Amino acid sequence: MSDVVPTAPEQPAGEMENQTKPPDPRPDAPPEYNSHFLPGPPGTAVPPPTGYPGGLPMGYYSPQQPSTFPLYQPVGGTHPVRYQPGKYPVPNQSVPITWMPGPTPMANCPPGLEYLVQLDNIHVLQHFEPLEMVTGFETNNRYDIKNNSDQMVYIVTEDTDDFTRNAYRTLRPFVLRVTDCMGREIMTMQRPFRCTCCCFCCPSARQELEVQCPPGVTIGFVAEHWNLCRAVYSIQNEKKENVMRVRGPCSTYGCGSDSVFEVKSLDGVSNIGSIIRKWNGLLSAMADADHFDIHFPLDLDVKMKAMIFGACFLIDFMYFERSPPQRSR
């Protein structure tokens, strides 16, 4: 009998309800229930999914990121729901540029011209500026230089002030800066202003382009020669001695066909290379987005390759640069 545990005396059910539930003066009040809920300690934070250190990727909803807009929530499965590739581009994401692998430095080669040593053909692609056609405001020209594998070799940017560009238009003096994949300026091309109001046969009216590589060190000039029916240039070394000759077509404004500028020897017998302005349809007829193909021998002196490259831009400004129409006030 020692194992019997004494219990409290039983009470009628009616008396227990009277002790636990005070009388409610409101008629027809709903019954109240005793809550047995006790708040426990806070739980541990849920770690981010595997493969996303530091949180969820951009575009996913997270309670810890109230600024993220909940586009959708995963409904099941072990893998998170992702955007369809190419359907929703990430903001401020630029298109990747594939550059030509950088060559090793070479003896007797100006720094930055090692790319041209490996090439016998390059493409000059001018950027299309729709703002010029809409506003009539002339902007600085920009060009992409690529090889046959569509790899970027150089970037050429015009550096001319706004007043000079819009006051002198296609006759403006300009400075072109050539940069490589590291953003280093490896070449500079300058055209001084030449008055065209006097006779075309006057030497002071002929256009000229100076090529410097590296900037500040002149390697040659591209000089215009007067001719009655075609474009003729001479490519000179740093001493202004003629080395090659460029001979253009009789008409550089051909519609629907390419314009070929032949690079020949001084005697005109040997064909060294060519500068071809490609016909791009309506872009060539109405807009300022030229495309040039430059061909030269692979074993040609790299400085002469740079001079043929520079002659392309003088030809572009003289014959294919179209200023946007100025609005009458």
pLDDT in tens, 65-74: 444 444 444 4
What domain count does the chain have?
A: 1
Say if 73 falls within a structural domain. Answer: no
pLDDT at 14 over 80: no
pLDDT recorded at residue 95:
67
Gap between the Cα atoms of 219 and 240, Å rounded: 10
DSSP string, 155-218: EEEE---HHHHHHHGGG--EEEEEE-TT--EEEEEEE-----SS-TTSGGGS-EEEEESSTT-E
Find which of 36-40, 127-131, 274-278 is predicted with most confidence, using mean pLDDT: 274-278
Least confident of 19-28, 225-234, 255-264: 19-28
- Domain range for 130: 119-219+277-320
Q: Report if residue 61 sits inside a domain.
A: no
Residue 85 is assigned to a structural domain of this protein: no
Rounded-to-integer distance, Cα 218 and Cα 210, Å:
7
pTM of the model: 0.67
**Is position 291 within any domain?**
yes
Share of the chain above pLDDT 90, in %: 40
For 290-310, the pLDDT digits (tens) are 899 999 999 999 999 999 999
326 located within any domain: no
Question: 280 with 286: CB under 8 angstroms?
Answer: no
CA distance 317 to 329: 27
Residues 6+ apart with CB under 8 A from 303: 110, 113, 213, 219, 220, 237
Report yes or no on 113 lying in a domain: no
In whole angstroms, how far apart are CA 250 and each of 114, 194, 199, 278?
Answer: 35, 23, 20, 16
Q: Are 315 and 209 contacting, i.e. CB atoms less than 8 angstroms apart?
A: no
Looking at residue 12, what is its pLDDT?
Answer: 54
For 276-293, letters b (16+ CB in 10 Å) and e give: bbeeeeeebeebbbbbbb
Contact 318, 125 (CB under 8 A): no
Q: Determine the pLDDT at residue 56.
A: 47
pLDDT of 25 reads 53
Residue 181 domain-assigned (yes or no): yes
Predicted local confidence at residue 242, as pLDDT: 96
Lowest-confidence region among 5-19, 114-128, 154-168: 5-19
Distance CA 49, CA 62 (A): 11
Mean pLDDT computed over every residue of the chain: 76
Cβ atoms within 10 Å, residue 205: 15
Residue 326: pLDDT above 70? no
